[in-house]
Structure formats: C-alpha cells, structure tokens
Amino acid sequence: MLCSASPLPSPPAGGTAASDHHARLRAAAARSDLPGALAAFVAMSSSAPASAAGPVLRTFTSLLKLCAARSDLATGRTVHAQLATRGLVAEALAATALANMYAKCRRPGDARRVFDRMPVRDRVAWNALVAGYARNGLAGAAMEMVVRMQEEDGERPDSVTLVSVLPACADAQALGACREVHAFAVRGGFDEFVNVSTAILDVYCKCGAVEVARAVFNQMPVKNSVSWNAMIKGYAENGNSTEALALFKRMVGEGVEVTDVSILAALHACGELGFLDEGRRVHELLVRIGLDSNVSVMNALITMYCKCKRTDLAAQVFDELRYKTRISWNSMILGCTQNGRSDDAVRLFSRMQLENVKPDSFTLVSVIPALADISDPLQARWIHGYSIRLHLDQDVYVLTALIDMYAKCGRVGIARNLFNSARERHVITWNAMIHGYGSHGFGKVAVELFEEMKSTGRVPNETTFLSVLSACSHAGLVDEGRKYFSSMKEDYGLEPGMEHYGTIVDLLGRAGKLDEAWSFIQKMPIDPGISVYGAMLGACKLHKNVELAEESANRIFELGPEEGVYHVLLANIYANASMWKDVARVRTAMEKKGLQKSPGWSIVQLKNEIHTFYSGSTNHQQAKDIYARLAKLIDEIKAVGYVPDTDSIHDVEDDVKAQLLNTHSEKLAIAYGLIRTAPGTTIQIKKNLRVCNDCHNATKLISLVTGREIIMRDIQRFHHFKDGKCSCGDYW
C-alpha cells in the first residue's frame, strides 16, 4: 500500500549531479573559464548515462563556443568525440557549433567535413560557416560558401550573410567580389538595412574605392554613427584628410553621436593637414565626451600635436596621461625627433627606460635618428649595443637607422660593416648606405654600390636616385650624374621631383657648366622652385657669374623665400664684383622684407659633452683661453701660407674683417676642441650652415700644423680634414 505520508519521489541521484555539473559548466562558460568548463563537462559525462539526463546540446555548444574563442583545437576535438559517441553530430545545432569551432581554429577542411555531413542545413548554419571563415581571414572560403549555399541548398543569403561576408571581401581587397555583393544587396533590397550598406561602404573604402563608398553613403536613407565613422575613417585612411575632416565636422554639426573611431580619424586628418586650430577643437570635443581616458585616442592626440609642430602641447598631453602605453612613448619620441628636438627625444628615451617600459623596434627607429642628429659617437655605439641586447639589431628598419646614424657620426666604415653584415636589406638600407658615402664625398664608392644594388635585382626608388645624384654632385661626377638622371625615367619610369632637378643644377653648376645648368632649368617640365634657383645661385657665386646670379635671384625673390640667405648670397656676389650700389640695394630690400640670415653656430663633441658656439660669441666659460688659442693658431697657419679671405665682408676695415672671420663659430669650436683633447685625437664639429671658404681653408691648414684630423659636418656634407687637405677636394 502506498503510504500517504511517503515523501515525493526523489529524482535519480545521477540527475541531481548532472544538473549541478550543468550549472557549473554554464557558469564556467559564462566566465570564459575553459578548463573549469571542461572539468564540469567531464564530470557530467561520467556521472550520467550517455542516454539519460546527460549533457544537453546547448552545453556542448557553449563549450564549443569557448573552444572557438580560444582557438583551442584539442579541447574542441574532445567535445567533437563526445558528441560523436552520443550520435549527436548530425544535429543542426551541434554541427553548426562544430563547424564554427573548426573555422575559428583555422581548420576550414574539418569545418567543411562536419558541415557536409549535416542532413539538413539551414541559413543559420550556412551563415555561421560564412562568418567563421570571414572572421578568420579565410576570405576565399567565405565567399565560396555564399555561392554554395545558393547552389546546393537554394538558400538565399540574407542581411546576416552579407554583413558576414563583406569584411572578408575587404581583407582580400576583392573589389570585384564587393561589387557583386553590393549588386546582390540592391537586388534583394538589403541595402535598406543600415548595417548592410555600412558594411558595403566600409569594404569599398578598404579596397580604395572611396568615391564609390561615398555614393553608397549619400544614398543611405538612414545613417547611424557607425556609417559616419566608416566613411570618415575611409577618407582618412585613403589619404583624403580634407574630406575626412569636412565630413567629421558635418557629423558633429548634425548631432550624430561621435565615437573613438571618428575622433581617431579626425585627429589623423588634422595632423596630416597641419591644422592646429581644428585639432585643438577636436581635443576639446573628445574631453567633453569623456574619450580622454581612452589611451589610443590620447596617443593619436600626441601625434596630431607633433605633426602640427607643437611638441610642447604634445608633451603636455603626454605628461598628463596617467596610463602610458609603449605607443604613447613611441609617439612622443618620434614627434620630438621629427621636429628636430633631438635632445628631448633622447631624454624621453632615457626616462622610458627608468620607468621600465621596454622599447621595441619602433622606439629604436624613432630615437636613433635623434642620436644621428646629435652625432655623438659614444652614444651611437651605446644604442647599437643596446639594439643587440634587445635582439633587434637585425630588424631591417633598426639596422638601416643604425647605418644612417654611423654615417652621420662620420663613421662611414662602421656603417659599411653593418651594411655588409645585414641578413636582410631593403631598398631603404641601400639608400642609407649610398647616401652615407655621398655625404662624405665618396662619390665613386656610392656609384659602385648603386651599380651593385641594381645587379642584385633591387629596384631603386626616387630616394635612391636622389642619393646617387647628390653623391655625383659632391664628387664632381658630371657624366655619371647626367646618365643616372635620364636612366631614372627611361629605365625605371620614375618621375624626377624638385629635389632631383635641384641636384642636377647643383651638379652642373659646381662643375662650372653654368649655361647648361641654366638651360636645364628652362626645360624643366615643372615650375622650378626656390631650391632649384638656389642651387643655381650658389654655383654663380662659386664661378663669379653676376648675370645669371641676378636672373636666378630675381626668380627666387618672386617666389618669396622665408629666409634672408639668398639675399646675402646675391649681395656677396655683387660685392665680389665690386658692385657696391647693388650690394646696398639688396641689403635694403632684405631689411624691408624683415628677412634674416640664420645665425651660424657650430658644436664640438667631446667625450660626454657637447659645446655650442655662435659666431663671435664670448660667453663660454673658457672664452679667454679659446680666443688665445685661436690667435696662436692663426699665427701658426699664417706661417704656412694662410691669407684671410676677406672678400665677402666689405663694409669694414681690413683688420676688423680678419677679426670677424676669426670668430666664425667653427673656428671657435675647433680651438676649444684642441684645448680639451689630447694630441692626436680626432676633432668632430657640426655646423648649421655651409662652411665658408675662409674657414674651410683655415681648417685645412689647422689640420696640417696640429697633425689633427678634423671631421666637420655642415648642412650639405662631411669634410674630413687631414694633413692640410680636405676629403671634398675643395669641391662643396
């Protein structure tokens, strides 16, 4: 008899355990805890008979989703085996999850096998597979599935299919496929879905067809924030900063919600255009909408300010940034380097190390050019060793930066050793080495290396030609220069730019072929710029041709130079020809326009210090000693034939002229270098302008009487002074 008091029948023991395990599994899955989920799953499987209240399909699929997210193929296969023993593989839900898992673990073949065995495949299953392929960069496979779903099962793609497959078209840069999907969407009326049209315009942008994207954008009846973002980003990434910024302003004006995507694009555009005021407005806006806690946005802000040449504002953002990433440091260092603030770049780099942020190759490529600019051989060697310790010295960009740096430090031999040891050479590596030789006046070696480059099958680019042409110019290799200039277009289809023309004018002009240089300018297919006429003017001074100098100078003045250097050059040419009235006229014109000649300075590098001298300055601590040493030097070189070249200073008495020449910054720097270094030490000088005739002459003789080697880097090239001669052969 049944007792009325008997308790309710309890569920089978295994069932309780199974639902416990099930709950644990679901909880673990929700935490993305794969080991936990797997443990729960195994416990559940062993505690319950396979046929009874065992794991239901949904637990399998949540587990498979985890495997997919982690790309954990091994666990995925275990789950697959469990499903197989339970005869559940053909269930649509399970098979779809399995196919998705295999696709995400980059096993398209396995995904296909599971999928092909499904007796019934619905659109959801097809879409899962398409999305799985597309998100894993298997663009071809994704697009193939879209075709197959129609052919094999007669399933029409829907908006989900389209939105899934479109990113795959973008990854494959498959403009044709994108057009097909677009046409299909229009036929099916899917283009009215804002997410479909947005995905289509995004793909057009990523395939470089921005104008087509814009047409899609304009025709969209409804646009959301994502659509605006995609279009603005598309313009920014395709180099149309003006349109990106215009559209961004419209977006803000129309009250569309601005997100980090459009802010990043707008900052990029402001930086590219150098629009500081617009950039500041974007800055204010992003603070208002709370994006100042987004470090990617703040890094972009730093870069924007640097590109607008305001490293001070960039530094302010950088310093106030609480959580700096390595990209923050890299952006700030690169910004300093590119704005000529080499000292700041190096200081930041040291600070980065103090704060234990590990540099990467990008950091090194940003800071090495700053060290190249400072040209301190000790620091150069240090950063080289540091690159080796970071195992980044064979990174081709780092290596190239090191080669360039050593060449700029006057150590062209070390640069060549590095070049020879390179495991990989890009065209930029060759360019750096060729340029290095050229700037030191080793024109022949530069030309040889250029020929070697071509013989190894490397294709030179515009920069290579600029380097080899300027090497020819510095070494007076006129025929080679002419030959390479025509080869540039004829053999390589490269259109010469303003700099190439300027270099040829320089080459011909220095070699005294002034008429040829002039007619070369007349035949230029582009309007000659200041640099081209400037090269001509320099050549006219060298070869004392007043007529062509006036012609060149007039063209320069029409173009409105920002510096007074060309006026000074012309005045000097007149002065050499004793045309005093004209000298006065040019000087007056220069004053009227408020133009100034940048003051000359030189720096001398001692072991751990750098000393800067301005021409005529007396504020150095050891000024007395320096001037005394210089006076003694001048006497010594006069004894071996030095005659001050007072040609270019005309409005003062002779002895004052000589004194003015004697206080040129490079002479002061050399005198100080001689005081501070032991006999026999090489003296290294850097000058911000071209070295003048008199200093060049004096330095040659100083190298003779002191037995010192003096390496001088001026704005154009290097001069190695030794035993009374200079490596430039007096041709600079």
**Of the listed pieces 256-264, 337-345, 590-598, 711-719, which binds Zn ion according to CB under 5 A?**
711-719
CA–CA separation, 433 and 239 (whole Å): 30
- Nearest-approach distance from CB 725 to Zn ion, in angstroms: 9
Per-residue binder mask for Zn ion (CB under 5 A), 649-678, x = binder: ---------------x--------------
728 lines the binding site for Zn ion (CB under 5 A): yes
713 has which bridge partners?
Answer: 686, 718
Phi, psi for residue 29 in degrees, rounded to 5: -65, -40
- Nearest-approach distance from CB 248 to Zn ion, in angstroms: 51
Tokens of 10: 């309890």
Size of the site for Zn ion (CB under 5 A): 6
719 lines the binding site for Zn ion (CB under 5 A): yes
Which amino acid, one-letter code, is at 283?
A: H
Cβ-in-10-Å burial (0-12, 13-18, 19+) of 322 comes to: exposed
CA atoms within 13 A on the CB side of 98: 27
Which CB sits closer to Zn ion, 21 or 700? 700
Tracing tokens 């290596």 back to the chain, one arrives at 399
Among 374, 692, 701, 711, binds Zn ion (CB under 5 A): 692
- Nearest-approach distance from CB 589 to Zn ion, in angstroms: 25
- Nearest-approach distance from CB 594 to Zn ion, in angstroms: 25
- Nearest-approach distance from CB 717 to Zn ion, in angstroms: 8
- Nearest-approach distance from CB 660 to Zn ion, in angstroms: 10
CA–CA separation, 384 and 405 (whole Å): 10
The one-character DSSP state at 371 is H
- Nearest-approach distance from CB 439 to Zn ion, in angstroms: 12
C-alpha distances out from residue 232 to 141, 251, 259, 411, 622, Å: 30, 9, 12, 47, 59
- Nearest-approach distance from CB 696 to Zn ion, in angstroms: 5
**Of the listed pieces 402-410, 551-559, 605-613, 686-694, which binds Zn ion according to CB under 5 A?**
686-694
3-state secondary structure of 423: coil
Cβ neighbors of 186 (< 8 A, separation 6 or more) are: none
The one-character DSSP state at 563 is S
**Of the listed pieces 1-9, 298-306, 679-687, 690-698, which binds Zn ion according to CB under 5 A?**
690-698
Which CB sits closer to Zn ion, 152 or 730? 730
Tokens of 331: 């952006």
- Nearest-approach distance from CB 732 to Zn ion, in angstroms: 5
Tokens of 258: 């601005």
- Nearest-approach distance from CB 692 to Zn ion, in angstroms: 3
Which CB sits closer to Zn ion, 532 or 569? 569
478 lines the binding site for Zn ion (CB under 5 A): no
- Nearest-approach distance from CB 674 to Zn ion, in angstroms: 17
Which CB sits closer to Zn ion, 385 or 641? 641
Per-residue binder mask for Zn ion (CB under 5 A), 611-650, x = binder: ----------------------------------------
Query: Measured at CB, which residue is nearest to Zn ion?
Result: 695
Which CB sits closer to Zn ion, 620 or 722? 722
Which CB sits closer to Zn ion, 235 or 437? 437
- Nearest-approach distance from CB 511 to Zn ion, in angstroms: 16
Which CB sits closer to Zn ion, 197 or 727? 727
Which CB sits closer to Zn ion, 184 or 627? 627
**Of the listed pieces 376-384, 386-394, 526-534, 724-732, which binds Zn ion according to CB under 5 A?**
724-732
**Of the listed pieces 142-150, 345-353, 526-534, 722-730, which binds Zn ion according to CB under 5 A?**
722-730
**Of the listed pieces 246-254, 387-395, 617-625, 687-695, which binds Zn ion according to CB under 5 A?**
687-695
Cβ neighbour number for residue 479 with a 10 Å cutoff: 8
**Of the listed pieces 49-57, 404-412, 644-652, 714-722, which binds Zn ion according to CB under 5 A?**
714-722
C-alpha distances out from residue 483 to 155, 388, 430, Å: 64, 40, 20
Which amino acid, one-letter code, is at 559?
A: L
- Nearest-approach distance from CB 242 to Zn ion, in angstroms: 45
Which CB sits closer to Zn ion, 567 or 719? 719
CA–CA separation, 248 and 185 (whole Å): 27
**Of the listed pieces 92-100, 126-134, 293-301, 723-731, which binds Zn ion according to CB under 5 A?**
723-731
Per-residue binder mask for Zn ion (CB under 5 A), 425-464, x = binder: ----------------------------------------
Q: For the sheet containing 725-726, what is the strand order?
A: 610-614, 601-605, 683-687, 710-713, 718-722, 725-726
Among 165, 230, 247, 695, binds Zn ion (CB under 5 A): 695
CA–CA separation, 674 and 683 (whole Å): 8
Which CB sits closer to Zn ion, 540 or 695? 695
Tokens of 609: 């210090």
Which CB sits closer to Zn ion, 241 or 615? 615
73 lines the binding site for Zn ion (CB under 5 A): no
CA atoms within 13 A on the CB side of 79: 33
726 lines the binding site for Zn ion (CB under 5 A): yes
- Nearest-approach distance from CB 429 to Zn ion, in angstroms: 27
Angle of helix 73-85 versus helix 34-47 axis, rounded to 10: 20
Which CB sits closer to Zn ion, 37 or 728? 728
Phi, psi for residue 398 in degrees, rounded to 5: -65, -45
Residue ranges in 220-279 that form contacts with Zn ion under rule CB under 5 A: none
C-alpha distances out from residue 575 to 13, 554, 599, 651, 662, Å: 111, 17, 20, 10, 20
Which CB sits closer to Zn ion, 181 or 661? 661
Dihedral sign of CA atoms 111, 114, 116, 121 in order: negative
Which CB sits closer to Zn ion, 136 or 699? 699
Which CB sits closer to Zn ion, 214 or 664? 664
Which CB sits closer to Zn ion, 234 or 441? 441
In whole angstroms, what separates CA 457 from the centre of its chain? 26
CA–CA separation, 472 and 609 (whole Å): 35
- Nearest-approach distance from CB 565 to Zn ion, in angstroms: 15
CA–CA separation, 319 and 314 (whole Å): 9
- Nearest-approach distance from CB 209 to Zn ion, in angstroms: 53
The one-character DSSP state at 294 is -
CA atoms within 13 A on the CB side of 160: 12
CB of 462 within 8 A of CB of 494?
yes
3-state secondary structure of 718: strand
CB of 401 within 8 A of CB of 368?
yes
Which residues sit at the interface with Zn ion, rule CB under 5 A? 664, 692, 695, 719, 726, 728
